[in-house]
Structures are given as structure tokens and as C-alpha cells.
Amino acid sequence: MTVSNNKIQPINAGNHPPTTAGSSHQPFENFFDDMDQDEQRSNSPLQEGIKKASENKAFLSLRWFVIISICSLILLSSVCVYLAVFIGFHQAVDELSEKVINDTKSKIVIYIDKVLSQMSVVSRLSAEQYSYGLVTLNFYRNFFYTPFKLTGLSVGFAFGYPSERYSYTIVGKEGEERIVYSYQPPGFIGSIRDAYFLNGTIQTVNETVDYTVYEVSKKDYYNSSINAAKLMGSEGAFTDPYIVTNGTLSIAYGAMLYDPHILTSTGEKVLKGICRTVMPLANIVRFMREKITVLQNGYVLLQQNGTDLVVVGSVNTTSFDEKSRVKMTDIIDKNAGQLMKDIKERYVTWENVPNKFFISSMGVNYYVLSSMYTFENIEWRMFVVVFENDIQLTTTISIAASVGVALLVTVISLTLALIITSIVLRPVRKLKEQFELIKVFDLDNIQRLSTNFVELNDIYKNLFNTVTWLKEIRSFIPDKVLLQLREEEGDNDPNTPNELESNNSNAHHHLQSTLGASSFTITTTSDNSTSKKLSSTAISKKESSSVFKMGYSVKYVSILHIRLSNYLSEFTPNEIIRTFPKFVSALGSVTKVLQAELQIISTDELGVMIETKKRSCKDTAQECALKIVRAFEMINAQLKNHHMPEINYSIGISTSESYVGNIGNHSIRYYSVLSESVKISQHLSLLALNYGLRILIDEKTLIGTEDKYISRPVERILSSPGLHSVPSRIYNVYCLEKENLVLDDEWLYELESKNAIAKIQELHSILKLFSRSSNESNDTASGMESIISSSLAKLTNFITEYPQDLSYKRWFRLFEKFQDMLMRDINAVDIIKNYHVCLENTVKTSIETHTEYGINY
């Protein structure tokens, strides 16, 4: 087998760099002369830029601009407020009042939407978990308590035939609520209740045992939920408000429960019961009383559509006995009942009531807004009642308050304007000083600043990062540029020449270090040896504090090589433009989650390097490969839907100790990985492509992960990494199938899965044929014959079950060949133990196959 066109070539340790004659080396002085000439050429545009900047002088102080702007804005705002109050207030007050009222109504609608949606979602999610067999009887108590703890909702299951129910119920009067776990086990005619504290701890077991016959199928909440859901064609519905036994007025939502065994096996939905979620309407009443105010004395009422019954209200809507519902016309608080009676007398039916109107009742004028509230199968009519005196009072108070506040705000604002301007501009002044230092590259005197303003603090951070980078590259800037900058600023510091001389020396040392770090040998006189030694030490210290650390470090890493065999041949350039971002984005998401590094080698080859500290890198590499396969499966499905060719891909994984780090110099740096895994992963991806497999891994990747992932042997390969001090070796190659995970399902399916996994894992025994342990049975021809016979029997079964798999057929033919060799060749045992496949780069001509024209290299 031949591998060609490799993207990453191994390092040839035997190559030596060319040598040059000493006379051809350019003296260091000439290097600096060239730099001086470059500086002179670059100074001209720099001077022009500085000259242009000086010509565009600013004429306005930022400090006075901010002060004048703020004061003008305040005065203008005050004048506009006065005009709005005295000229347009009476016209706007009605709109303002209506807006306040509408906002109040919107708050109520949003809150009711939230709680009803919460009931619907909790009930449907709980029902779905039951229908898919995710919750069982043993966990009902904990399962039902979680929604109550998080949302205050009472959740339970009720089954019609046979009668059976389990739920938490909120009982007790408003402010004295407690919960009981009420259940009716199969075969029991009544109800059993356990008392609980609100924190979920049990108070009394079997607090009550009621033998009164309780049939779920005959209860209104059960049948009404099912009938309403069928009528709407949904998975659940709300019931009408009702008074819970020993509780308060509540509303319930019933979601359909289906037989989990039938649903998961056939997908058919067979109704078995409902998941009932109950919420006391006292929650909505509490919200209205605590959070809602309609001007001064206004209130809100919700009426059940089609009846005279009240649902909730911000006034008292409970009956004297607290066991029956109240009509709209019977409410006593704030004479609301009489008002509702007058409204009904005027409009005859509730359906004829307009959206907004004025009405007088018992000598008091009211402004009433009426609207319908609907949510799924709920239809409630909302009345927002406003006292007309409240609107007039609001007008009077607003005029007096707005005038007084406007005057006070004007005085205070003008005072604060001066203080705020000083506070805001102080960081700007500091920033100006920092930029003055940057302008002349006086980077050592720049301090790391901070402020309480987030935006300015971000600027300070970015400035500090910029200064850090400028310090790194300052040695590459010609000294004449720095000198000219400081001369333009009139810098007469006597230390400047020394500083420039120091910079010049640093540049000289840097150049020496750069040349000395290469493979060239530079001969110097004995006088310069000490200087070079000290220079090298200084550069070493300087690099130790550099942003990028240079040199290699030994790390244990895993390399994935992804090969797209048909991507360039079957996809047009336009298709590549459309598809390449999609799968690169998908692979990037996978590597980001697993903290791996995605490397794009070419359009049809990609690499992933994994080096993790929290878990094994080879474990992460195999998980990453399986996720990449799933990503490509989804991508290919999309390509198929768009009538485009599918991407044929293969993945090779290798793990080893590697040299990883930055190499190069200060001007050119390259992140390098020296590892035999680079070449091996390429070979494995090519071998997977030829065998029609997706993922191949080497022995080092497999060891330690056998219990986590399912794999099977594919081949034995002789590696030739081409790295210094890394010998060639024969290693086994395995096909990674999937994660070793058996889902908790029906016992028969679970048993079949475990047997199938064990059957695949048995294939590892065929590698005993190549073992070199002294106590193995393959040391003799008879022992090897026994292993071969056993392996052939296993392979026959797998070929029958997976006839399209080329690797099984190859093993079968190979073992048949081994069997024949044992009968013919006395050295067959050693030959078989040394069996391997070579993957290497070769060069062939077009007449290679003709013996008479063959060319020997």
C-alpha cells in the first residue's frame, strides 16, 4: 500500500544546513547602515503626518463643551417641561391616565399568562416524562414535589381505569396553606393522605384514610380536561375554577397521559389518564393586591365568560362560608357588586359591554375598561375600574409637582453638571498623558491605570495590552525614528543618548542571537566571545518574560487526521464555497466543547490536536471522533436533501508523547508539533478510506479505554515516523465503533445489546496470533493452528452478519493464508508473528509495470 501527497512531512535528522564562506558574511556595521537608510526613507512621511496633525489644531475645549452642553440640555428640558405642563397637560392627562390603566392591565395579563403557561408547561412536561417511561411509581413523591418547590404548583397523576391517583394538594385557608400527599393505590376504593410541611419534610403519615368511594373516571376535572383537549385537538386543557376540598378556589390543567409501553414500542397514543396541575387562584389575588395599583382606589375584576361568577379580583371576592363561588353582582367591597349590577342593567348582557365607558353608581363616577382575556380554552372578561376623582387628583398633583420638581432639578442639575464634568474628564486627561508618552515611545514610564467607568476601564486595558505589544516590537523600530519623535516634542533629557545607545546595543545583541540560533557556525575573535556570551544571557532573560514562550515541551497529545476523499473531485468550487463553512463550523463546535484545537491543513484535510488536563486525551480523542462522525452524518443528510454528493470521510487517531511549542525567532514564530502521531494519524485515515471504515485508532489510543469504547482489530502496520530517535515498530490498528453504553430499556433489548457488544469485543482474541509473550500458545505450529481455526470460525460468523465489511473478509483471507503457510513452510510461525502492512511514499513511472523498461532509482 502506498501513501502519497502527505500534508505534514517528517523531519529528516540526517540533513545538515549548507555552509558559506566567511567572506560572504555581511559585517554587523553594514546591517545597521542599511537600517539607518531605511529610517531616513521612512522619516519623510512621518514628518509629513506630524506636520498635518499640527496644522489641524482644535479650537474648542472638551471641558467647556461638556459643561455648556449639559447646562443647555437641562435648561431646554426645563422649558419644554413647563410648556408641556401649562399648555398641553389637560390634553395629555386622559392619554396618560389611559396609558397607566392599560399598563396595569398589561401587567395583569402578563402575570396571568406566565402562571397559566407555567401550569401548561409543567403539566405537559410531567405527562410526557410519564408517557415515555421516564418516571415510575417509586419516584412519584420526589417527582411531584419538585414543581411545587420551584413554582408552587400542585402536580399529580390521575388514572381512570382502574381508578388510581397520586398528587400533592395545597389545602388550608389563604395564609395558612399546607400540603398533603393524596393518593389512591390500585385496588383501594378511597383516598390516603400524608401531611407534609411546605419545605417537603413529612409531618404525618396516613393523616387521613378515607374509605369513601372515589372514582377518578367520574370526576369533573378528569372528564372536562379530556373533553376540552379533544375539542381543541391539543395535549391538555384547563378546567373551570372550582373549590378544592379543604382548600380554596383553584384552577387546574389536565395533560394527557398515554400508555408508555405502547407509545415507546409502537408510537400509538393510548390514553391512560391525565397529569393534573392545580394552582390556587389566591396567587393571582395576592399579585393583584401587592403589585397592582389602579391610580388611588381603582380595582380589577376577572369574570368567567358565559356566567355571572367572579374568578379573582383585587378586592375581596370570597364568600362568607368560603365554600361557594361569588357572583359579580354580590361583591360587597368598594360597592363593586352594585356597580356590576348597574353595568348589567345598562347593557343587558356582559357580551354587550363596550371596551371603555363612563358610568355613575351610587353617586360616584367611574371610568371602566372591559376586555376579553383568552388563553388556550380559558375565556375571562377583565374589568378595570377607575374612580374619576383619582384622575382629577392626579391632574392637580402632577401640575404642582412638575413645576416644583422642574425648578429643583434645574438648580441641582446645573450644580452637578460641573461636578460630573470634572469626574468624567479626569480619566480622559490621564489618557491624554499616556498617549503623549506613547507618541515618543516612552513606554517604561506608562503606568497601568484603572477607573470605575467600564468603557474607560476597557480602553485602559486595551491600552495596556497595546503597550505590552509595543514593548515587544520596540527593538525593531529604528532608533532614529524614536530620536526624531522626541526632538519634535522638545525632549532635552540628557539621558536620551545613552538610552538610544542602549537600544542600539539591544538590537545588535538581538541580531547576534538570531544568527547564532541558526545552524550556521560563526567564528569570532577572542575579544568578542565574552560580549557574545553576555548578550546571549541577556536575550535569554528577555525571552523568559516574553508573551510567547519559545522552545519545545514534552506533552502527551492525541492527533486526529480527517481526510475528505471525494471533496475536491466531486464538488464544484461553488459547492465547496457553500459546504466548507458548514462542516468546519460543525467541527469547530465539537472541538470547542472538548477543548481541542482544530487545524485546517488543506481544503480536503483537517487535523485536531487534543491535550487535556482534566481527562485522558485519548478518551477525549475518541469521543471527539464519534461526535465528528455524527456531525458529518447530519451534514450528509442535508447534502442529500439538496441533491448534492455526500462527503466521504475517514478519521485516523494516534496518541504519543510529543514535542510541542513555538520555534523561530522574534520576527517569525511557528507553533510546531514533533510527533510520530502526525504521520501515523495520516496513515490511519488513508487506511480507513481504503477499507471503507470511518475511524481507525492505534494501540496507544486504545489502551486504557477498552471499557469505555467498542472497537475491533483491523490491521497491523509497520510505522516509519521519520523522527529523530524514534524507531520503527509494528502496532495494531483498531476500528472505533461506538461508545460502550447500554441504555436502561426493556431487559430483552438490554441483553441483546450486551451480547452484541461482547461478540464484537471477542474479535480482539484473534490478535493473540501475533503475541510475542513466551508463555503464549502461539509459540508452536499446533498452538497457532488452534488459534487460527478459532479465529476463522469467529470471522465466518461476522462475515455472514456483515457481508459488506472489507476488514472482516481481509482477516478471513489472511488467516486462510496463514493456515496454508503452516502446512508448507517450517518458518511460518516467525513469519506470521512478524506480519504487518507497510504504508510508505513511493515514486512510480508510467512504465513501471513493464519489466523491460523498468527504471531503478
Q: What is the DSSP string of 473-496?
A: HGGGS-HHHHHHHHHHTT---TTH
Please state the domain extents for the chain: 119-281, 441-544, 549-741, 746-857
Phi, psi of 670 (to 5 degrees): -135, 130
> Comparing 119-281 with 549-741, is the CATH topology the same?
no
Task: State mean pLDDT over 583-603.
Answer: 87
pLDDT of amino acid 429: 79
pLDDT tens for each residue of 636-645: 999 999 999 9
Task: State mean pLDDT over 395-401.
Answer: 70
pLDDT at 192 over 70: yes
The alpha carbon of residue 311 and the mean position of all alpha carbons in its chain are separated, in whole angstroms, by 43
Least confident window among 180-184, 592-596, 686-690: 592-596
Compute the distance between CA of residue 8 and CA of residue 685 in angstroms, rounded to an integer. 13
Between 33 and 607, where is the model more confident? Answer: 607
Residue pair 155/168 in contact by the 8 Å Cβ criterion = yes
pLDDT tens for each residue of 364-385: 888 888 899 999 989 999 999 9
Cross-strand pairs, 736: 711
Residue pair 253/239 in contact by the 8 Å Cβ criterion = yes
State whether residue 692 is helix, strand or coil.
Answer: coil
The secondary structure element, H or E, covering residue 168 is strand 164-171
Asked if the bond preceding 803 is cis, omega within 30° of 0, the reply is: no
pLDDT of amino acid 655: 94
| DSSP 8-class letter at 299 | E
Residue pair 414/74 in contact by the 8 Å Cβ criterion = yes
| Confidence band, pLDDT 50/70/90 cuts, at residue 92 | low
pLDDT of amino acid 255: 93
pLDDT of amino acid 288: 86
> What's the burial of 612, exposed, middle or buried (CB within 10 Å: 0-12/13-18/19+)?
middle
| DSSP 8-class letter at 322 | S
List the alpha helices (DSSP H) in 57-158. Answer: 62-86, 89-131, 140-151
Compute the distance between CA of residue 725 and CA of residue 167 in angstroms, rounded to an integer. 71
Least confident window among 218-227, 452-461, 537-546, 624-633: 537-546
- How many residues are there in the chain? 857
CA distances from 263 to 235, 271, 272 (A): 14, 10, 11
Compute the distance between CA of residue 388 and CA of residue 642 in angstroms, rounded to an integer. 65
pLDDT of amino acid 775: 56
Cross-strand pairs, 560: 608, 653
Q: Which of 160-174, 465-479, 516-530, 648-662 has the highest mean pLDDT?
A: 648-662
pLDDT of amino acid 800: 80
pLDDT of amino acid 48: 54
pLDDT tens for each residue of 474-499: 655 544 445 445 545 554 444 444 44
pLDDT at 42 over 50: no
* Dihedral angle, C-alpha 728, 729, 735, 741, nearest 10 °: -120
CATH class held by domain 119-281 = alpha beta
Closest CA to 355 of 342, 332, 373, 379: 373
pLDDT tens for each residue of 833-843: 778 888 766 66
CA distances from 602 to 6, 43, 561, 650, 763 (A): 11, 42, 11, 15, 36
State whether residue 711 is helix, strand or coil.
Answer: strand
| Confidence band, pLDDT 50/70/90 cuts, at residue 128 | very high
Task: State mean pLDDT over 116-122.
Answer: 91
pLDDT tens for each residue of 337-349: 899 999 989 998 8
Phi, psi of 300 (to 5 degrees): -130, 140
pLDDT of amino acid 334: 87
Closest CA to 274 of 191, 359, 165: 165
C-alpha cell at 687: 487506511
Residue pair 330/337 in contact by the 8 Å Cβ criterion = yes
The helix, strand and coil proportions of the chain, stated in percent and rounded to the nearest 5, come to: 50, 20, 25
| Confidence band, pLDDT 50/70/90 cuts, at residue 728 | confident
Provide the 10 A C-beta neighbour count for residue 670: 8
pTM of the entire predicted model: 0.42
∠506-510-512 over CA atoms, to 5°? 115
CATH code, 549-741 = 3.30.70.1230
Compute the distance between CA of residue 646 and CA of residue 627 in angstroms, rounded to an integer. 18
Compute the distance between CA of residue 512 and CA of residue 532 in angstroms, rounded to an integer. 8
Between 527 and 728, where is the model more confident? Answer: 728
| Confidence band, pLDDT 50/70/90 cuts, at residue 742 | low
∠99-101-104 over CA atoms, to 5°? 110
pLDDT tens for each residue of 747-766: 555 566 666 676 676 777 77
What integer best gives the mean pLDDT of the chain? 76
Least confident window among 421-425, 749-753, 765-769, 804-808: 749-753
Provide the 10 A C-beta neighbour count for residue 374: 9
Compute the distance between CA of residue 408 and CA of residue 394 in angstroms, rounded to an integer. 20
Residue pair 714/693 in contact by the 8 Å Cβ criterion = yes
Rg of the chain over all Cα atoms, to the nearest angstrom: 42
| Confidence band, pLDDT 50/70/90 cuts, at residue 563 | very high
pLDDT of amino acid 238: 92
Provide the 10 A C-beta neighbour count for residue 45: 9
pLDDT tens for each residue of 50-72: 455 555 566 667 777 777 877 78
Compute the distance between CA of residue 147 and CA of residue 195 in angstroms, rounded to an integer. 18
pLDDT tens for each residue of 255-273: 999 999 999 889 899 999 9
pLDDT tens for each residue of 283-317: 888 888 888 888 788 889 999 888 889 988 888 88
Q: Which of 136-150, 243-257, 558-572 has the highest mean pLDDT?
A: 558-572
Compute the distance between CA of residue 337 and CA of residue 341 in angstroms, rounded to an integer. 6
Compute the distance between CA of residue 294 and CA of residue 369 in angstroms, rounded to an integer. 12
Task: State mean pLDDT over 693-721.
Answer: 87
Phi, psi of 180 (to 5 degrees): -130, 145
C-alpha atoms less than 13 angstroms from C-alpha of 372 in its C-beta half-sphere: 13
CA distances from 828 to 355, 476, 775 (A): 99, 67, 19
pLDDT of amino acid 489: 59
pLDDT at 627 over 90: yes
pLDDT of amino acid 634: 93
Closest CA to 768 of 726, 738, 821, 732: 732
Compute the distance between CA of residue 741 and CA of residue 179 in angstroms, rounded to an integer. 41
Closest CA to 486 of 519, 553, 434, 438: 438
pLDDT at 282 over 60: yes
| Confidence band, pLDDT 50/70/90 cuts, at residue 13 | very low
Residues 6+ apart with CB under 8 A from 713: 732, 733, 734, 735, 763, 764, 766, 767, 811
Q: At what angle do helices 28-55 and 496-516 cross, to 10 degrees?
A: 130
CA distances from 706 to 294, 309, 331, 557, 758 (A): 69, 69, 74, 18, 12
Residues 6+ apart with CB under 8 A from 332: 316
The secondary structure element, H or E, covering residue 691 is helix 676-691
The alpha carbon of residue 48 and the mean position of all alpha carbons in its chain are separated, in whole angstroms, by 50
CA distances from 208 to 46, 191, 205, 384 (A): 93, 8, 8, 43
